[in-house]
Structure 1
Amino acid sequence: MVNTGDTAWVLASASLVLLMTPGLALFYGGMVRAKSALNMMMMSFGAMGLISVLWVLYGYSLAFGNDVGGGLLGSPTEFLGLSSLLEDTTSEAGGLPTMAFVGFQAVFAIITVALVSGAVAERMKFGSWLVFAGVWATLVYFPVAHWVFDFSVGDHVGGWIANTLGAIDFAGGTAVHINAGAAALALALVLGTRRGFGTEAMRPHNLPLVMLGAGLLWFGWFGFNAGSALAANNTAAVAWVNTLVAPAAASLAWILTEKIRDGYATSLGAASGLVAGLVAITPACSAVSPVGAILVGVGGGVLCSLAIGVKYRLGYDDSLDVVAVHLVGGLWGTIAIGFLATAAAPAGIDGLLYGGGTDQLWRQVVGALAVLAYSFIVTYVIAQALDRIMGLRVADEFEHAGLDATVHAEQGYELGDMSVG
């Protein structure tokens, strides 16, 4: 029998997570220069269109089909086109129609791909981005989602991180954030820096847009984390509260770090700290107490803020700091479980600081590093191949003029003659 309450919660959560991608488009769009704002937003909307189709055709099957390779990949044909699931009402959470789970996981795939685009803002061909997004989702995201999210139930065999390793990743610290952050680093290295990187000011053109986008991301993230309980229950409630307090603490920690370091607490810092805290609590929201969530958030805010400067020292151009926020934040949140998890939380595991020893800690580290290495290496190979086949960068004159006019024949802002008559 279908549990209508749980089904309603999961479908509502899926809708919240889908809203995160337009929220991300606003967040990223406001952070770039005005001449490429629409292009930046189009990269997120392009991911929404492409990944939705691929997920139905074969993505769900690769991620959640019965394992065909030692916990590494789901059967690519088991759920091809999803027609076999139209009348199916079984799932991991009893009484939840499988199609509800399909939809919920689809929006995770969309947002993960869209996150990567922030690293290559203002200089990547739009067509090359769409091709990259499709190949990357197929070779990287779908398999990693199988590793992390596909649990073995009955005769169904799932992925190795979830079942063999036993690392905790409630809503995607590894599969989403470390995965996207490592990919962003690899793609940025292959693409190269923006013209004038390190010598010209490349300030956000619309900070109110950034703050609006961050607010929508926070709103949608309640579906992201609490919805991952796949039921309207105590686990969802604990995840919801932790998703409230961790980004709040992270935002405060980020602006305090800015104030101490630079003398100013900025709106961009407040918004970025918010996202960093959301990233950090994503894997841990079912494993820590609310006080633990505050500590996770503070750590994420400080570490991600400090990580921003690394790109200037090492010379890679991660345009919108995907590496600093998502890779660093994802690593911190995933590994922090090994220290801060408490058996009183729904996950039922004690970390090192709660007397659990190092057993869970090493599992978290192995899971995080495995996803990081796989995503970085495969992404680097994909990017190099596509660069040779079709080219990744726009022409210099396109980059100078801005991608809105040269790629899309549009402008984000009409600032010409405003006279009437």
Structure 2
Amino acid sequence: MALNPTDLFDIRSLLSEEERMIQDSVARFTDQKVLPIIGDCFDQGRFPKELVPEIAAMGLLGSSLPEKYGCAELNAVSYGLICQELERGDSGIRSFVSVQSSLCMYPIYAYGSEEQRQKYLPGMARGEIIGCFGLTEPHGGSDPANMKTVAKKDGGDWVINGAKMWITNGNLADIAIVWAQTDEGIQGFIVEKGTKGFEAQEVHKKMSLRASVTSALYLDSVRVPDSQRLPNVKGLKGPLGCLTQARYGITWGPIGAAIAAYTSALEYSKERVLFNRPIAATQAVQLKLADMARRITLAQLLSLQLGRLKDAGTMQPAQVSLAKWNNCRMAIDICREARDILGGAGITTEHPPIRHALNLESVITYEGTETVHQLVIGREVTGINAF
């Protein structure tokens, strides 16, 4: 039997029946609903928010959280497969789900009060309440401890001043999880849309994640009651814990982008005839395609084992760093090579490689740049902090 070009090691056989069903359902959604429109959305700089109700109806928002809050309570591998299949469509679609699930619903669940969970999580799972995550600031994102946004206690309220930058979903969001310095360390606050002094401004002129909403958040003496503070965490471990959840999903997402670019190049190479034979018959193209298949296979195995570790409760943040570093680099390199195989046709959104390559310039940067994750591994193996 011939091997599956996108699954040379039959990794699918390692999945449970439920995991395979989830992957197949999200793959169908991507094929039927995302791929027919996503090129135009990218061209137009438009997030297809009309897809949100169906994404929610499929149980993809907060999918790892408990059923008591209206969520699907899936395992970590299932969440990873969701991210892979959504990013096979576009990084912007996967980013929307990642932010809603891992950066907004997760901190409310992990760090919030029961009242906050009941108030927000069911509506977020239904896609009726959209969230954004306010951590990164205009002066830089790789040093969150140097946060300039501050929250001061004033009676039973908190007054927040500051600005956040590169915020996915910002102008879509009904709530923002805003992290701020307080006299007791960094704390998280749920800031609702329409609160006086709170404003989101969409970022335009992007060449990456064009089918995603990216915003700046401004907080000018924003007053929120103490009931909107996340009570169960203080310090950097709060936002960093959220980022570990989101980065885990990101290790899977680029595999989908890489598969989309690779299969596009593979199909094109069999149809494109030069010098009386398809370019797939040339050694140069076969070497590139073989290398793509090798790197995708390694990334699949890496993320699957990471997911099994997460489900076992033994996953370490450094392991997430290694997988994000490897898989983002793998995907961006494959997309560039695939674009090259497509020649001139590869620069249009009629084919996915250039769109995915541009998107991955953001994915390889956000939630920890490649350099940051390399240094995390360097620290892990040497015991010396080089930050």
TM-score range, shorter chain: under 0.3
Higher helix residue share: 1
Q: With CA pairs under 8 Å and 6+ residues apart, which has the higher RCO, 1 or 2?
A: 1
Normalising to structure 2: TM-score of the pair? Answer: 0.28
More strand by percentage: 2
